[in-house]
Each structure stands twice: as structure tokens, then as C-alpha cells.
Structure 1
Amino acid sequence: MVLTLRDVLDRHLVSADPQVLSGYDGLDNEVRWVHSSEIFEIGPLLSGGELLLTTGLGLAGVDAGTRRHYIRELAQRNVAGVAIEMGRTFDEMPDEMVREASAVHFPLIALRTVVPFIDLCRSANTDLVSGEVDLLRRRSDLGAALHAEMAAGNGAPSILKRLAAAVDCPLVLLGSGNALMAAEGVDDDHSAWQAVDAQVAAVPVGMRGELVATLVAGPGSQLDPAALVSMLEVGAGPLGVTLSLSRELGGLPHRAASSLVSDLLDARIDRRSDLVMRLGAAGFRPSKTARLVPVAVDVPIPRMASQLSASAAKRISAQSMHAQVHATSYALIAPSRPDGDAVTEIVDAYASGSGEATVVVGDPCRLDAHELSSGLVRVRHALSLAVADRRSGNHSEAVTSVRALAADLAVETLPDAVRSELAAAAIGPVIAWDTEHGSELTHTLETHLRHGCSATRSAAALNLGRQSLYQRLDRIRGLIGFDFTAPQTYPGLLMALCAYRAQGRRSADLSRSAD
């Protein structure tokens, strides 16, 4: 571990009563060795980083210019500092040496108590060597742990997790073009990029002379930068081998999962036996009675979607499989409990770490090719609606479900003219008021209906005071002329609101097409 000049003075030279006469800004210089010598022309024999101890005997009888040269040469050799014992050659430090050291910002230290240099050197250098031995031991332990991960057949995420625990800071693995490949110690892709922006160290990850990735360490480690780089270099080798092997094998499990989901979306799998076999090839082996919940994810950095899905599955102790088809990420999740509301459980698991992602959770499906195909197609369609609503500022939830979007999906099957008629007939006056006044009564009405007409939950969702909510609801009631909370009007109003949002999505699509 690195010792600074300040550390050496405080820990090992304190008995010599040191007084820093110049170069205070150099007290954080790294000290690589503590050396004593009386040779005047010692500079060329030093490699940099040494703290030099001397009685000044080699400076006795020389002129002021020669003493200045002595200081200047040590500074040019990047020596950490020089400590001169007072009372043998000099009763006090020569003024020209102090001025020269100050001019070149070089630490010049007077030792005002006589202490055998051998004791000072032994103490400081033992500390330096023990730090280096400790780092070597930690490197050795880490190397053994990472090779055990490789021998167990574990991939880059497991290696990255081990390495992050060893250095105690966030780690991000960047591929070609700075694409985000994996991360550990961060909550989402936004946090990963924050760690990259605030990086403390980075090392290349290569294999057979080819750069395959870059390993970046974010802030937080207690290791000094040099030791941190040293530890990262231990991990770079196993990561390079693992990444290269995955690439040479075509990333078989990941490719198998993506191919499977693609075929299911296109309804190209008929037999249950084929489905089970291909799930196994993707490393996913749910029980015969398991219910699989399809999930579709839209995220700015596609590679982070698998980490998001894996984290959500882990929170509920569920098996999962992740796949990428074109620009959309998918997951199949097999909840550990057959009973209970799996959809709500999975929605909550994703919501705790969704970040900038939009996630739609589908309905549970049996281990049946046709049912799973339909479920994936439905969740893909629902995701496109959720993404469009979020982009248009319709205040949609970041994580929702096919169940919650059932009315939207039904409205999407209607012709444009029917949707327009439905919206105008039920909520036309509310839409007109919003258009004229720039208000959000339409959104308020839908939020209130979707929260079971509970004033408490609606006000919280809209970030309004209850009195403000009541004023809006009174305005809406006056515009449409009937009680919108009545059971017989409730379903029709919700469909009309969905139809109105569908019109907005359609207009946005036409506008993008025109651009």
C-alpha cells in the first residue's frame, strides 16, 4: 500500500522531531523507500520516490551554489523529499537551501533530534514492504477466487461480482464503442454511467492481444489508485478469457434464448416438447407445472435490461430467462410460489429498480407453446402502448401490466372513427375544456377511475392536495353532467379515456412519419 511523505513523518520520523521548512504541497508525495546517504552526488543514483536521510556531511565545506544544485538535482530526480539532521554538519538549515527548495516546491525537512538513521529506515521500510506483501496476498487470494469462478463455469457477471467485493466499489464493463456490457454495485444503467463518469481507475480487458472490453472502477474504494489498478488487473485476465470464450461459443445460452423468444413471437413453435427442449438449451428449466410470466422491457441501454430482469427475479426468488429480440428485451419468469398474485409480485419487483426503463408484465402462461406465444405477443403490443404514452407525456407508470392495459389493448382493435366517436360522446366536454384552458382534467378523471375513485390514492398519484382534487372533480362532474363514479358508467368512461389516449398515440405516429 502507498505511504505518503506525511505518513512517514507522522509514523516513523516523529522521534527525530521533524520540521518541514519547504515543499508543504509535496507532503502527499508517495514514498517508495527510505534511504540514508552522505554522498554529495547521490542524485543520479536515485530512481525517484525515495525519502533521503542525511547528516549533511557531504555538503560540508561546499559553497552556497553547490548546495542549491544539490537540492535542485534531487527535485529533478523526483525524490519524495530530503531530511537533514541538525547538529552534526549544520546547527541550522542553510538559508540558500531553504530558498532553493521553496523555489522548486521540494520538501526540505530538518530533523532536530538525533536518532540513528538505521532505526528510522528499518521502521519505515518495514511498513512499506508489509504493505506490498499485503497487496500481493490480496492479489493472490483474488486470483484464486476468480479462477475458481471460471472452473465452476460461471460467467463474467459472477467474476465481476467477486472483483467488486474485493475492491469495494462499483465496477462497469464497457465493450466496443463504450457499450455497457455489465455492471456490479449499481442500481441501474443511469447509476452505471454515473460511476463511469466519476471513474477512479480503468484497465483494458484483452485476450490474445485483442482488446475485448474496458473495466472501469467507480468511486468508493479504500484502496489507493495504484493498488486499485493492481487489483483490477488481476480480474482483467479471467474476464478476458470468459468474454472471449462466450464470443467464440456464440454466447450459446443467450443466443438460444433470443432465438426461442423470436420464434415464439412469430408462432413458429408448435409442440410442447420442442418448447421444453429449447428452454433447456437456454439454461431455463422450469417445472412441468410452472406458470411462466412473460415480461417486455424497453430500456435506453439494452444490455442493462437483462440485469434489471435478473434483479427483479432474484427479489422474488424466481427462475428467469432473458432474451433480446431486435430493440426489445424480454424475460420469462417462473415464480417460486404457484399460488398468489404473481403479476403484482413481479410488477413490484421491477418497480424497485426500473430507472429509465418501461416494463410491462404479462399474464401467467402454462408451459404450452401456443399460450406462451400469445402471451409474448400481447406483452409486446402492450409495451408499445406504454412506451408511446410515456413519450407523449401521458403520465403512464414506468412498470405496469397487460392486466392494467386491458382496456387500452381492446380499444386498439377499434377503427379510428369508432375511437373518436367513443371519446367525443363520453368525455368530449372535458377534452374541450383541457384544450381551451391547458388543464389536465382528462388525466385527473382517468387517474381517479384507475384508483378506484379513492380521493386519497388519486390525490397522491396526482401529487395534489385533496381540496384541489375535489375542485377538479366538481368541474368534471359539471362538464359531463352525470356521476362518473356510478358502476354503470364506470366501464364506458374508462374505455372512452383509453380511446382518447389512443387518438393521441395515433397523432404522434403520424407526426413522426411526416418528419
Structure 2
Amino acid sequence: MLTVTEVLALAVMERNAPTVVAGEAHLSMPVRWAHTSDMTFPIQAPQPERLILTTGAGIPDDRPRIDKLFETLSQTGASGVVILLGPRYSEPLPRSLLRAAERNQIPLVSLQPPGYLDSIAEAVNRIIFDRQLDLLLTSDRVHRLFTELAVEGASPWEIVREIARTTGRPVVLENLAHQMLAYDPAHQDPSHLLASWEEQSRRVTTVGRAGHDPTYGWLTAIVGARGKDWGRLILLPVRPRSTPSSPMDAEASSEFCSLVLQRGTEALALNQLIGFSDGYTERQTHAELLKGIITHSLTAREVALRAGAMGLPLERTSLVGIALRLRNPHRVSKTDIHALEELAVSALQRDHVPALTASLGNGVVGILVALNHKGDAAASLDEISSRLHNMARESFPDRLSGKNATGSEVIIAVGSPAGSIREARHTLSAALQTVGVALQADSSGHAKHSPLYFRPRDLRLTGLLRLLQDDSRIQSYIENEIGPLLEYDARHGTRLTWVLACYLDNGRNKTAAADAAHISRPSLYDRLERIERILRVDLNDPHSCLSLQVAIQAMDVVRQQGTS
């Protein structure tokens, strides 16, 4: 919507050299329509936000009626009065007019003759109509854009990114505690945007659910739905501030930005409703950061700035990656994974441990905890893991699998502590790899015990083989070492490969191997001789036995992967 200032800047007005003679402080009044009137007293009250163009022919001469006239205009919300000089008035306008306009906060403007007020009003209204039509079409386009984003499940980061792209201005989504949830700097230096974010944000308050702070140039809107607010969306000015080519450009930009902000707020509210969780947006933000660390899509500086703006200091701490999975993954639902994620958040909050926590897909909940670098990391991890297991026993009381050593349904893996954000990727990746291997070992029954948490070094050779199970060279190794024996068993219905495994697993102790295979010692001797002939190896050679044992373990890993 145009303002009085912008109407006066139109070419059709400038031809008559408009001069503001009163009410200059109120030129920002919006103009919804312009119409001509002779302003005969008593005046018929105009509709709000109308700019009155007049020759002043009907304006009374006495001061009381002039005051009453402008008081009526003020009460009905008139935008201003424009008087064409010549027919009734010449310069200067009567002081009674100026005082009445100033007292009632109505802009009063004089136009130089000659001029045709009907033509001026028609030109102004044509521009207003065109602007309103453009805004209506833009509103429809923007509404469809952000509705599609929300319905398609776009994350808050994606919605914020689209707002920044559409407006060309930096955007921040924060929670009610003024901690950043998502942002896009719109190609500006994020350090200016996020440095001491909470302090910056608390300085800016606006009235109502949406508003503008003229001091800082912020456009803000409260985000929420169903009567429950959870955040604030902020559109910041461009640094350095760009100068609009004309006042109309500035007004159009402000209207457009307000429109985009409103539609973005609606999309975020819908996004939260689809998520069905109070912490849904925050979890998505944590997931963005964790994935950015793992994939190197975010620099260490960006991670530090974003986390710091969320109230999570990651610098000058000891960072440890933790990965959680539920046992018996084939029976784990999305609800279970969400419950595990909430359990982890609750456990860390109880211990007041700053951490990024989010579901990373494939049933894994990833955590990056920031521990005091002067403290005992092992003791802290023991305490965190114990709490996670205790809470898991309450949340998942043996409903996914049978009893196990910890009595918990959760498998926990941790990486080695990292001294900086740059090294955080290694501790997270190690935890994610370790929890996957530990889960496979647990599912196969090969795990001898279930500790509080698994570390990469706990997995030994089996862990290495599980990490390399998709490598074609491992498969070739299996075929080269025991392929002939596997083919023999397949053709003759024998179990020589299993007998060889019993022999090697028992340290080549033939008595123990015979007991494990449930056969007599002579039968064992006969089968071992057959194995030596088929594979053309000497089973008394330690190096040959080691190679065969690795091949058999690799085969078990590959077969289990194929089954799962």
C-alpha cells in the first residue's frame, strides 16, 4: 500500500510541485484510495485511508468549523488533504487551516496550478490498483511456494533458506529463549549475524504477533499453531543497507518482505504440526548440524557459530561422538526411534550436558556431547551411558528382545574424544560405525558381553570385517581361501567348513574341536585330512590356519549381511 510520501513522489503529482505545509510528521499514513471532494461543511465522512484532493471550495471560513472539519477527517482515518491552489486559495494557505491540520495530525499539501484533480485522482488510483493486483498475484505465488515446502516435509532450514532466497535478506528462526534454530545469511558474513545472537535478539521487541522495529530494521513474526507459540521468525536488514531507487521501491520491498515473512511463518507452523512434537524443529536443526559435520558440508566456523547461537558452546571443550540403536532392529518402528531420540535428549538435559542430538536415519540416534576438557571424559561417559540404559529399561522394558547383560534395549557406541570441531567428524563417524558393527554382533549372538558402551577397539577383527563387508576384495579373499571347501559341502551335503571352524575356534585343540563338533576324534582326524586335500593346505601351519580363520569369520559377516 502506498503512503502519502510515495503518492507525492508520483510523476502525476510532481508536475504540480506539491508542498507539504502541515502534518509533515505523518506523511507515512497509508493511502488506500484517492478521491476528489469540495469538502463542503458538514463534510460527509470519508472511508479510512483516503487521500482527499480538493480546490477547497467548500471549506468554511471560520475557525471553529475548520477545526470541526479536520477533527472529523482525523476521526475517520483520512490519509491527508491536497489543495489545488487558484480557485479558492493562493499561497500562503490560511493559518487556521495549517493549525487545524497540524493539531489533528493530518498531512496538508498544496499543489500549484494548473491541474485537473479528477485526472490526478484517476492516475493515482490506477497505480494503487496495479500495485494491489501485483501484490495479490505475488501473495498467491508465495503462498503456493511455502505451502508446497511444508506439505513436502521441508525442514525449517530449507524453509528459512527459501525465505532468504526470495527476499534477499538474512533470516533467523529462534525459539522462545532467543536461541537460534535455523538461519540463512543471504550471502553475508554469518559472524555479524550470529555473534552474541541472544543478546542482539533480546534488544528487539515488537508489538503484536508481527511487527517492525524501525531502530534496527527487523521484521519479526511469532511462529506457532493451535494457540501454542514456539518461536520467532526474523527478517534482518541487508548490511550495508542498500538505498532503494525510489520511495516506492522501498515500500514495495517492505510489503513484499512482510508478505514472505507471513507465508514463511505459516509454513513453519504447518511443518511443526506435521512433526507432532514440541521439539521437532529443534531436533531437525540438530540433525542439520550433525550431518553437516559428518559430510563436511559445514565448516568448523559455521558449526561453532550456529551451535553458539543455539546456546551450545562447542569450542574449548572435549567433543565425543555417541551413537544409539535399539536391539532387534527389524522390530523397531518410527515411534520407537522417536522415543529413543527423546530419551537421549532427556538424559543429557538431566545431567546438564550440552549436546547436539538427533535421529540420523537407519534407526540411529547420533549425539555430539561437549565435555569439560579438564574433566574425566571416561567417568562422564560412564555416567551418561548408565543413565541412558536406566531410562531405556523404563521406556523399553524387554519388549524388543530378550534379557541381555545390561538389561537395556539400547546399544551405545562412542568415538574417541576430539579436541576441536574440525576433528568432530572422526569421533562421530567412529561412533556410527561402531554401533552398526556392535548391533550386528549382538544380533548374531557373537557378542560375548554387552558393556555400558562399545568403543572402536572393542570390536577387534570382527569389527574390521564388518566395516569392509561390502568390499569386493573381501569376497574375493573368502573365495580364494575356502571357496573349494564351500563348493564341496554344497555338492556332497557335508559340513566340512563348520568342522574347520570348530577346529580353528578351539585353538587347533583336536579334543575340544571334536566335542564342539559332536563327533569322535577319529572322525575329526578323517575330516581334517579331507579338508587339507580339498584346500591343499597344511593345518599344522599357523599362518595357513590364521588365513583360513579370517576367511571363515568374513564369510559369517557377509552371510549375516545378506540375511539382514
- Tell me which structure has the larger Cα radius of gyration: 2
> How does the TM-score come out when normalised to structure 2?
0.46
> How does the TM-score come out when normalised to structure 1?
0.50
